[in-house]
Amino acid sequence: MLTRSYKAVLCFLLMLAPMALNAQAVTQRSAAPLSYRINPGDQLQIYVWGEERLQRTVKVLPDGTIAFPLVGQMVVQGFLPKELEQAISNGLKSQYKGEVPQVTVSVVEPSGMQFSVLGKVRSPGSFTPGRYVNVLEALSLAGGPNEFANLENILIVRKVGDQVKTMRVALAPLFKGGGDAQSIAGTNLVRIEPGDTIIVP
């Protein structure tokens, strides 16, 4: 039997899911926001203004690199689009006597923003929202926790370089609080990073 507070927060999560999916569709049709950092699997559109030969749509390789004419192989993983624009401009300086034409980088398909949700959720699987989400939004994309989920001990598994880092997140206070503003403010809504695995025991 579901408690009243559990039902309230479950409804809240289910309301979030279509909103998150709608945001995903909008984001994938347009360039990612400037705060978005480039990930392997992302598709980039690069323009060097006035230079048709230097206009490219490229996909970031699994090792986090791209190849760009006159610059060569570049590590781009973790870069903001503005930072990549500057790196390409610096790489082209030797090719121009004067100012390098303006470089524009857009993330047209942020496919690298992918994570997985496993365990006691209604729709486990891998998700590509095309934007950063927190752990609560991630659960909403997975249909929310089922009635047997242990919300005191949610595990986030994250790869950092060559190491694996784990974090424990407790969302039970949020559910017990019925989703009110005070319970939300007191909950650690960890931001999910590309490649994270969320396990709901």
Residue span(s) of the chain under CATH 3.30.1950.10 come to: 43-109
Residue span(s) of the chain under CATH 3.10.560.10 come to: 4-29+112-200
Instruction: Evaluate if residue 184 carries a pLDDT over 70.
Output: no
Instruction: Evaluate if residue 101 carries a pLDDT over 70.
Output: yes
pLDDT score for 22 = 44
SS (H, E, C) the chain: CCCHHHHHHHHHHHHHHHHHHHHHHHHHHCCCCCCCCCCCCCEEEEEECCCHHHCEEEECCCCCEEEECCCEEEECCCCCHHHHHHHHHHHHHHHCCCCCCCEEEEEEECCCCCEEEEECECCCEEECCCCCCEHHHHHHHCCCECCCCCCCCEEEEEEECCEEEEEEECCHHHHHCCCCHHHHHCCCCCECCCCCEEEEC
pLDDT tens profile 8-47: 555 555 454 444 444 443 334 334 444 789 999 999 999 9
Q: What is the mean pLDDT of residues 63-78?
A: 96
pLDDT score for 174 = 78
Instruction: Evaluate if residue 84 carries a pLDDT over 70.
Output: yes
pLDDT tens profile 127-181: 999 888 999 999 999 999 998 999 999 999 999 878 999 999 998 877 765 555 5
Q: Pick 30 or 77 by higher pLDDT.
A: 77
Whole-number Å distance between alpha carbons of 65 and 70 = 15
Class of domain 4-29+112-200: alpha beta
pLDDT score for 177 = 56
Residue 95 is which amino acid? Answer: Q
Residue of 63, 102, 70, 97 lying closest to 86 (CA atoms): 102
pLDDT score for 36 = 87
Instruction: Evaluate if residue 186 carries a pLDDT over 60.
Output: no
Other CB atoms within 10 Å distance of the CB of residue 85 = 19
pLDDT score for 74 = 97
| CA 182 from centre of chain | 27
pLDDT score for 119 = 96
Q: What is the mean pLDDT of residues 73-102?
A: 95
Q: How confident is the model at residue 189 (pLDDT cuts 50, 70, 90)?
A: confident
CATH number of the structural domain 43-109: 3.30.1950.10
Instruction: Evaluate if residue 108 carries a pLDDT over 90.
Output: yes
Question: Do strands 197-200 and 115-119 pair parallel, antiparallel, or not at all (unpaired)?
Answer: parallel
